[in-house]
Structure formats: C-alpha cells, structure tokens
Amino acid sequence: MDERHREFLDDLLATPSPSGFEADVQRVWVEYVSEFADEVRTDEYGNAVAVVEGSAERDAADRSSGQGPRDGDPAIAFTGHADEIGLMVNSVDEDGFVRLSRVGGTDRTVSKGQHVEIHTDDGVVRGVVGQTAIHLRDPEDEELEDIAEQHVDIGAETEAEARELVDVGDPITFDTPVRELQGTRMAARGMDNRVGIWVAAEAARRAAEADVDATVYAVSTVQEELGKQGAKMVGFDLPVDAALAVDVTHAVDSPDLGKEKDQHGEVELGAGPVVARGSSNHPEVVRTVREAAAERDLPVQLQAAGRSTGTDADAFYTSQGGIPSLNVGLPNRYMHTPVEVIDTEDLNAAADLLAAFAAESSGRESFSVDI
C-alpha cells in the first residue's frame, strides 16, 4: 500500500463516525473519490455514491426504472458502510457523571476503563468510562454491568457543570489511535467498516485506471450497524446489475476462540478477502468473482452463509425485485472492540479482486440465474 492510499485509510480510521453521525467521515471519503470519479453525489441521510463511467454508454434512466433493454456492459456497485459502533449520552446525573446508551452493538465487556471522546456541537469533551478499583470490588460479585449501568467521568463536579459541556444525544467514541503492529498488520477501533469503504473507493479507482468497460458505482452507506438502513435507501434506485458489499468478517485464527474455531469457519488474517456463498450471495456473481481471482492468481478464502451475511448485501439483494449481490469479507480479529486487527494485504487484494470482477464482467448483459 503506497503512502497516499495508506494516508486515506488512516484518515478514515481517525475520523469518528458513530451510526447516525457519519458526516465527517463521509467528507473524507467524498474528497478522495472526487479525484477520479465522473460524478459524486450524496443523499439526505449522507449516503455517498461515486460513479466511474465505463467505456460503454448506458441508458441510466431505463436502468434505474427497471424498464427497457439491458444491452451493453454492466453497471456494478462496490459498497461499504461508513458508520461505526459507539456510545451516546443518555443522561447526566446529579454528581456530573454521564450515563450511557449504546449506538449499535457495543460490547459491554470492553468499555470499562477506556478513554472516550464525547462529540458535542462545540467540540470534543474527553472522559473515561469508570471502573471500580479491583481493591474495592467484591471478588464474589464480578458480574458485568450493562452499558446503561456504566458511566463516563468527564471531571465535572456538579450536574450543572456537566450540562454546560455535553447534551443528551451527543455521540461518544473510544479514544484509541491507529497502531502499527508487525509486518502489514495494524490495530484500531472502527475497522468495521472503514476498511470496507476504503476497498470500495480503491477498487473503483483501480477499475478507472484499468479503463474497464463496466460502469462502477462506489458507495459508502450510513447506519449499517442499526439495521442496514443506508443500504435500503441507496438500493431503492441504484441502477446496477450487481452489488458487492465489502465488510469485515471474523478471522478465527486467534487463541481466544480455542476449540470452538471449527464452528466459525476457516477464515485467517492475511490469507486474502473472503467470498461468501449461500443466502444473499448470488451464485453467478460468486462464480464470476472466483473466476476473476483464479485467472489473476489473487488469494481468496471461502465462507458459508447459509442464512444471511449480516451485511449490506442482505439489503441490496432484495432491492428493486432483486439485485444480484455478494458479501466480500475482510478478515478482522476482535470485532466490535477498540482494538480490531486487520492485515493491509487483505485490503489490497480485495481492491484488486473487485476491479478484476469489473473487468471480468465486460460484455455481460445480466447475472440472472439460468433456469
């Protein structure tokens, strides 16, 4: 990964974007894709779409309405979601401590003892999630408190002082910087799913450089962690023949999983992007992606998805009567913690894979299953 593209990834990871508050990170993404896209647009909730026109012209009006011929080269979407899990100011108590609620699937087992940032209209207020000292806890009562029972200490001495600094509804993120690990591995909060929108943007840029025939839509959605809401908005009228949703998936090669590894698949960090099979993952899209990988000797792992993927692919594939969709996974250790770990080689390989899929799809009129 060269310096410019790594800088883009670091900027995405450094920009807080809890679900419902994604505007800042979307600005970073839009600025980057604007360097090569033919068109960039956003909607009322902040979903962002960048269009890289293919070498063949398309009748966008007919396509978006679902009517008319589907001749020529396909249109393809590469998507990721911009939002991250977090916390929110739920109330302020009489002693000036901030009480919490969840934004998305925040893990109560990792929140205590963490530095946090409260994002207010007037700037960042720093605090810590309190944890009773081990000396003062009852060793027979180590039950984990729910997020709603935890608190943030911002140093305020009174309720009035705290309310001058924060408002109910202010979003909160863990204050954990990007850390370099050994080799090409790195740790940060919010890998889920800044790495996905990085891949979506980079794959579109690489497709543009390769001058592929297909038209590529790079998409950065909002509020995936709240039920794939942004993808439902975008999928309503996105004029594409296929949608590849890039999101993190569980790497199961760490010792914390122990003997249960076999229950979670065979995904390893650094072994390449993951192609899911089953449920929302369209068989023709899966086949084409695997063929593109095989012809170019790109590493690919496989994953079973017998019921759902839990990603934006599940929203896209039921849009407009059915958009052929695929979940492309990026191996991630310690998901939904402040220390998620990924391998940048997996990101590079995923961007190459998606660009190769766009090239492999040249001349294809549709991905419909042959009955």
336 has binding-site annotation: yes
192 has binding-site annotation: yes
Distance, in Å, from the CA atom of 111 to the CA atom of 130, rounded to the nearest integer, reads 9
Measured CA distances, 146 to 110, 126, 142, 195, 237 (Å): 11, 21, 13, 29, 40
Long-range contacts of 130-139 (CB under 8 A, 24+ apart): 130/97
- Identify the CA nearest to 313 among candidates 324, 302, 303: 324
Distance, in Å, from the CA atom of 321 to the CA atom of 66, rounded to the nearest integer, reads 9
Distance of alpha carbon 245 from its chain centroid, rounded? 9
Mutual angle of helices 191-209 and 3-14, in 10-degree steps? 150
What is the DSSP secondary structure assignment for residue 340, as one 8-state letter? E
250 has binding-site annotation: no
List residues with catalytic annotation: 224
Backbone angles phi, psi at 123, to 5 degrees: 125, -170
Q: Which residues are annotated as a binding site?
A: 81, 192, 225, 247, 336
Query: Which residues carry a binding-site annotation for Zn(2+)?
Result: 81, 192, 225, 247, 336
